Amino acid sequence: VRFVRGHGRLTGPRTVEVDGETFEAATGVVLNTGTRPATPPIDGLADTPFWTNRDVLRIDTLPSTLGVIGGGPIGAELAQALARFGVRVTVIEAAPHLLGPVEPEAGSLVADVFVREGMTVLDGATISRVAYDDGQFTVAVDGQDLTFEKLLVAAGRTPNLDDIGLDTVGLDPSGRSIEVDERMRAGDGLWAIGDIVGHGAFTHMSMYQSAIAVASILGKDGPAATTAPSRT
């Protein structure tokens, strides 16, 4: 196996370019580019030095206060981790419950635990503006200005489909996901797996789909994607 570090981009069927070097595949190409943190369209937010999930894992000093925009699984787990390190954390969630589409009871239970642990949870909240000045974030939420030393944004993910040359193989680069068949085939000599196929953004789903794609690439019968575990 040859490992190449760089940004890969399809330039046509079975052809990938990485930093000026072109690779032609005899059998095909597997797309597995995952997602990146999304920036929600909140007035002022994009101009501030907010943290994503990647930034928060690189810190070596703790802020005294942290606002977390987004109370889904990623925002919730990072919020609780920082709170347990002693940071005063406020989770701001637009939906009526934490944890997104899971059962509302689960979201309420987690919110209760967070409050018991000293965190502030604002659900059903609307943020109208975010500003950063003099080392401090100000978040306008439902008519009040909240201030934080740091701000983590965990409000959705963007699939990495926009810059991988999908148009060169007849696929839509602006789509939310790539459509695949039960063998993870996205086209002639093209397979796609993981978050970008839109069947549950979980590590185990990506691994499960990779086994199906490998079996398909090798021409062997593998487990069909239609029997994949449902989203949990």
93 binds ligand FAD (CB under 6 A): no
Interacting residues of 32 by C-beta distance below 8 A, sequence separation 6+: 192, 193, 194, 196, 206, 210
The one among 30, 206, 217, 225 contacting ligand FAD by CB under 6 A: 206
Q: Looking at beta carbons only, is 141 or 161 nearer to ligand FAD?
A: 161
Q: Of these, 15, 160, 168, 177, which contacts ligand FAD (CB under 6 A)?
A: 160
95 bridge partner residues: none
Report if residue 201 touches ligand FAD, rule: CB under 6 A. Answer: yes
Closest approach of ligand FAD to the CB of residue 204, in Å: 5
For the beta carbon of residue 184, count every other beta carbon within 10 angstroms.
28
Interface residue with ligand FAD among 182, 202, 214, 215 (CB under 6 A) is 202
Size of the site for ligand FAD (CB under 6 A): 17
Rounded to a whole number of angstroms, the minimum distance from the CB of residue 107 to ligand FAD is 17
Name the segment binding ligand FAD (CB under 6 A); options: 167-175, 184-192, 201-209, 220-228: 201-209
Parallel/antiparallel/unpaired status of strands 150-153 and 65-69: parallel
The nearer residue to ligand FAD, 39 or 160, going by C-beta atoms, is 160
The torsion defined by the Cα of 77, 37, 195 and 185, in degrees rounded to 10, comes to -170
Binding mask 23-52 for ligand FAD (x = CB under 6 A): ---------xxxx-----------------
∠ CA 82-68-123, nearest 5°, is 120
Q: Is 164 in the site for ligand FAD (CB under 6 A)?
A: yes
CA distance 43 to 131: 9
Which token pair is 25?
Answer: 């595949």
Q: Which residue matches tokens 């990779």?
A: 210
- Residues 198 and 145: their CA atoms lie apart, in Å, by 36
CB of 131 to ligand FAD, least distance (A): 26
Nearest Cα to Cα of residue 18 among 188, 169, 164, 191: 164
List residues near ligand FAD by CB under 6 A: 7-8, 32-35, 53, 74, 160, 164, 194-195, 201-204, 206
